[in-house]
Amino acid sequence: MNFFKKYKQQIYFHLLLNLIVAFCITLSSYYHIPLSSFKDYSIYFIHFLLLQFSFFGILYFLSINKYVFYFGFSILFISLSLLGFYKYSLDLSVTKSMVEAIFETSLLVSVDLVSIPFLIYLFSVGLMLYFIFKKYKNVKVNQLKSPLIVLAVLGIATYYIIESKRHNTFDSRLPYVAFNSVVEFFEEDDLQLLPINSDVNTSVKDINFVFILGESVRADHLQLNGYNRETNPKLSKRENIISYSDLYTPLTHTVASVKQLLTNQSVDDIVKSNEVYSLFSVLNAAEYKTSWIGNSTIVKSYAPIIRSNQEVKLIDKFRSIMSFNKALDEDMLAPFDSILKICENQFITLHMTGSHWYYENRYSDEFRKYTPVTDSKHIPSLEPQQIINSYDNTLVYLDHFIDTVISSVEKTQTKSIVMYVSDHGEILGEEGKWLHAQESEFSKNPAMIVWYSDELLSAYPEAIKAVKENQHKRVSADFFYHSILDLFQVQNFDYDKNKSVFKEDYY
Ligand SMILES: [Zn+2]
């Protein structure tokens, strides 16, 4: 009892401090997660408690020295609370792009920051800070010698234990995501793009190539490949469509697979080199106009490759794949249409958010063909069929998306090709696993769809004949880089024609 009396003020202060920090900062990362059952809520509540406990450890050490606390905590609390405000109101994820924008002070403009609710929030944060400091003065014990320090060490240990068991459990949420984004901002890019000789050329200067880079779409859920559901109602009615059934990649994580697809790196390379040729650099040298339109956050591992496009347009660089508000891929269609009209020898990439979990956020209501769908982010509490229904609905939406792109390209009446390739597949309950980026054969067969115009067929009949004939062969994801360079007949530059699906003897 004496013990409690002695440390009463200190315990009371830290409880209050953590309660305020939880409401302004940590809880915001949980606010938008769709959950349905009592069990879901309980699991995420425990998740939140552990995260808050780990942050308590940091706050405790900060509070040992009063000067460090007044200065350090003020900066931390105000900046993290502002990020909490974005998270609550707009579900914006903190990313390197956001840190960049803060440093460039463009954030104020781009997210329309100054509003009445924001000013009220800012005022409340100031009041709470004043209140915290007032209570802090009442803590009379030596915090360094208080037994509470053991709890603080335990809190920090919790962070390391949980992150080592499952990376990003805490790191993808506030406050940790903010610290990591700042670190990432100051880090150098690992990837070095090799320069291209100026004598690189091409004899084919009249192809309009539209590349749709997909996300998490597995080949066997396409109606075009014999799936028993109508996931391709539009494309299956089209002429000049080819669907590859046996594309293979062992790289089931976007970070690795996108980098490999867009460079000379092979899926078989055991040691992944960080000095690569970007496909876009080669195309630029061959006088193709390269443009990138993205609806997906740029990841550091392949950012320099994206930047090697002549034009880069991101739909919303502050919205990441982790956000729960809908960022539909259709948002890319208007910028795509305006770029498409410019010229003929061009290579346009559309980078989709595609079928990345959480599936319900990836398509609009009119494509909800299969029900019941998922109503919670907590996978174990869902019926497998709910998840598969939601996933298949994203494919019906994809079918519509690709069909719309083809319609636009068709109207140009140019020698055009639309090629869709997903970065990897997805596991849908096989072996008790879900999603991707974990070991399973089911995520290694991504979807690939090709459409060509009649004009292209007349001009390059042999290439089209080959791309049709190869559709059921086992094709390694290495094909992409080499096939494009082969189709464009790039000269004075080394690549492997044997890996081109536009050659009949593809092995
Ligand atoms: Zn991916």
Distance 377 CA to ligand 1 centre (A): 18
Distance 219 CA to ligand 1 centre (A): 14
With 0-12 / 13-18 / 19 or more C-beta atoms within 10 angstroms meaning exposed / middle / buried, residue 290 is buried
pTM of the model: 0.82
408-443 burial, b at 16+ Cβ within 10 Å, e below that, comes to bbbeeebbbbbbbbbbbbbbbeeeeebbbbeebebb
Distance 36 CA to ligand 1 centre (A): 27
Mean per-residue pLDDT over the chain, rounded: 89
Nearest of 412, 446, 404, 467 to residue 235 by alpha carbon: 404
Report pLDDT digits (tens) over 378-397. 887 889 999 999 999 999 99
What is the pLDDT, as a whole number, of residue 162? 92
What is the pLDDT, as a whole number, of residue 453? 96
Distance 299 CA to ligand 1 centre (A): 11
Encoded amino acid at 241, one letter? I
Tallying the residues shown for the chain, one arrives at: 507
Q: Give the whole-angstrom CA distance, residue 56 versus residue 154.
A: 10
Distance 481 CA to ligand 1 centre (A): 18
What is the pLDDT, as a whole number, of residue 367? 97
Q: Give the whole-angstrom CA distance, residue 180 versus residue 163.
A: 13
Report pLDDT digits (tens) over 468-501. 999 999 999 999 999 999 999 999 999 999 999 9
Identify the residue with better confidence: 276 or 168. Answer: 276
Nearest of 75, 31, 71, 55 to residue 177 by alpha carbon: 55
Region(s) of the chain under CATH 3.40.720.10: 192-499
Sign of CA dihedral 406, 407, 409, 413: positive
For residue 327, pLDDT beyond 80? no
Mean pLDDT of 428-444: 84
Distance 77 CA to ligand 1 centre (A): 34
Mean pLDDT of 304-319: 87
Nearest of 336, 334, 354 to residue 397 by alpha carbon: 354
CB 85 within 8 A of CB 121: yes
Q: Give the whole-angstrom CA distance, residue 263 versus residue 50.
A: 41
- How does residue 234 score in pLDDT terms, banded at 50, 70 and 90? very high
CB 60 within 8 A of CB 72: no
For residue 129, pLDDT beyond 50? yes
Nearest of 329, 348, 471 to residue 396 by alpha carbon: 329
For residue 441, pLDDT beyond 90? no
Report pLDDT digits (tens) over 288-298. 999 999 997 77
Query: Of 268-272, 349-353, 501-505, which one has max mean pLDDT?
Result: 349-353
Placement of tokens 């410019």 in the chain = 342
CB 436 within 8 A of CB 208: no
What is the pLDDT, as a whole number, of residue 109? 47
Distance 428 CA to ligand 1 centre (A): 15
For residue 30, pLDDT beyond 60? yes
Express as a percent the part of the chain with pLDDT over 70: 92
Q: What are phi and psi of 446, to 5 degrees?
A: -75, 160
Q: Give the whole-angstrom CA distance, residue 261 versus residue 481.
A: 7
What is the pLDDT, as a whole number, of residue 49? 96
Written as six digits, the tokens of 494 are 């080394």
Report pLDDT digits (tens) over 393-410. 999 999 999 999 999 999
Distance 461 CA to ligand 1 centre (A): 33
Mean pLDDT of 141-167: 91
What is the pLDDT, as a whole number, of residue 321? 61
Distance 359 CA to ligand 1 centre (A): 13
Distance 422 CA to ligand 1 centre (A): 8
Q: Give the whole-angstrom CA distance, residue 485 versus residue 494.
A: 9
Q: Is 399 in a helix, a strand, or coil?
A: helix
Distance 238 CA to ligand 1 centre (A): 27
Question: If residue 216 lies in a helix (H) or strand (E), which one and from where to where?
Answer: none
Q: Is 421 in a helix, a strand, or coil?
A: strand
Distance 15 CA to ligand 1 centre (A): 41
Q: Give the whole-angstrom CA distance, residue 84 versus residue 21.
A: 10
Distance 255 CA to ligand 1 centre (A): 7
For residue 374, pLDDT beyond 70? yes
Distance 154 CA to ligand 1 centre (A): 35
Q: Give the whole-angstrom CA distance, residue 416 versus residue 170.
A: 46
Distance 401 CA to ligand 1 centre (A): 18
Report pLDDT digits (tens) over 88-118. 877 776 776 667 666 655 555 445 556 777 7
CATH architecture of 192-499: 3-Layer(aba) Sandwich (3.40)
Distance 254 CA to ligand 1 centre (A): 4
Distance 85 CA to ligand 1 centre (A): 29
Q: Give the whole-angstrom CA distance, residue 457 versus residue 465.
A: 9
Encoded amino acid at 434, one letter? W
Nearest of 490, 443, 11, 461 to residue 240 by alpha carbon: 461
Express as a percent the part of the chain with pLDDT over 90: 64
Pairing assessment for the beta strands 275-276 and 289-294 based on DSSP bridges:
unpaired
Report pLDDT digits (tens) over 40-79. 899 999 999 999 999 999 999 999 999 999 999 999 999 8
What is the pLDDT, as a whole number, of residue 325? 66
Q: Which residues contact 453 (CB under 8 A, 6 or more apart)?
A: 240, 409, 410, 413, 414, 415, 416, 417
